[in-house]
Structure 1
Amino acid sequence: MFEIIRDIGAITRQIQNVSNAEFRKLGLANNAFIYVIRTYEQPGMFLGELADSVQIDRTTAFRTVQKLVQSGYLELQHDAHDKRLRRVFVTPKGAAIYPELHAFEQQCSDRLVSQLTGKQQAELKLLLSKLVY
């Protein structure tokens, strides 16, 4: 069964390579574009929630968010009820590039499952949801 995990890893690396090349011009290499997408789609997440949503350790996520803040794509705001917590929001600059990022993500997804029927896509989604990692 380890071949399946290797295949999933290979698919992931291929998408990462293409996305890094595509978004390097925007300063969003090393998968930083994913943070902008997640923050746009779920504004106001805590830093830990954002790290969990992109499935990366919190230290790495924090460093990436800091770079995106410096680049003007994201901003941090203290939580209204607990000043120790900071929430992440997309800036107007980040919102402006979201359509391009989302279209890329959609195109990759469509290409990846293009040979599967609708039923097979639903089955794949179900099977992947059962994986424990």
Structure 2
Amino acid sequence: MFTIIRRIGAITRLIEIDSNQHFKPLKLNNDLFIYIIRAVEQPGMFLAQLADAVQIDRTTSFRTVKSLVKRGYLTLKNDPDNLKIKRVYPTEKAQAIYPTLHAYEVEKSQHLLAQLSKAEQATLAQLLQKLQV
């Protein structure tokens, strides 16, 4: 059973290596592109929600968001009801690059799952959903 977790880890590392190389020219390596994808798909998340969505600790996530704000991909706005909460929104620059980022995700997903039938893909999704992190 331990080999299953090792295989999941190996797949994760391979995808990370590939995405780092793919997005290096855009300076969106080190998984920065994931933050942009999440912000475009779910604009207005507060910082903690975004950290949870990318499954990164909140301190690292906040630093990354600040970096993406400086680069012009994201903006932070105060929540109108609770000024302690900052909400994350994509900029036009993020919206413009989103189709490229999303296409990469789709391409990698299709490649990774190509050997599985639709039923096997559904079973895999159900099983992964059961995993506790």
Distance in 2 (CA, whole Å) between partners of 1:31 and 1:47 is 16
Mapping 1:20-31, distance limit 5 Å: 20-31=20-31
Specify the code of the residue in structure 2 equivalent to 1:54. Answer: V
Aligned alpha-carbon RMSD (Å): 0.5
TM-superposed deviation, 1:51: 0.1
Distance 1:2 1:64 in 2: 32
- In the alignment, the residues of structure 2 paired with residue 27 and residue 46 of structure 1 have an alpha-carbon distance, to the nearest angstrom, of 24
Which residue of 2 is the match for residue 12 of structure 1? 12
Residues 87-121 of structure 1: CA deviation (Å, up to 9, x unaligned): 00000001100000000000010001100001100
TM alignment of 1:7-86, pairs within 5 A: 7-86=7-86
What is the TM-score with the length of structure 2 in the denominator? 0.98
Distance in 2 between residues matched to 1:76 and 1:27, nearest whole Å? 21
Structure 2 counterpart of 1:33, which letter? F
Q: 5+ unaligned residues in a row in structure 2: which ranges? A: none
2:131 and 2:81 map into 1 onto residues whose CA distance is: 36
Equivalent AA in structure 1 for residue 43 of structure 2? P
Provide runs of 4+ in structure 1 moved above 4 Å: none
Aligned partners of 1:89 and 1:12: how far apart in 2?
Answer: 27
CA distance in 1, matches of 2:84, 2:111: 42
1:79 to partner: Cα distance: 0.5
1:100 equivalent in structure 2: 100
- Alignment partner of 2:87: what SS? strand
Cα shift readout 1:33-61 (whole Å, capped 9, x = no counterpart): 00000000000000000000000000000
Identity of aligned residues (%): 56
SS at 1:76's partner residue?
A: strand
Residue aligned with 2:30, SS: coil
What's the TM-score, normalizing by structure 1? 0.98
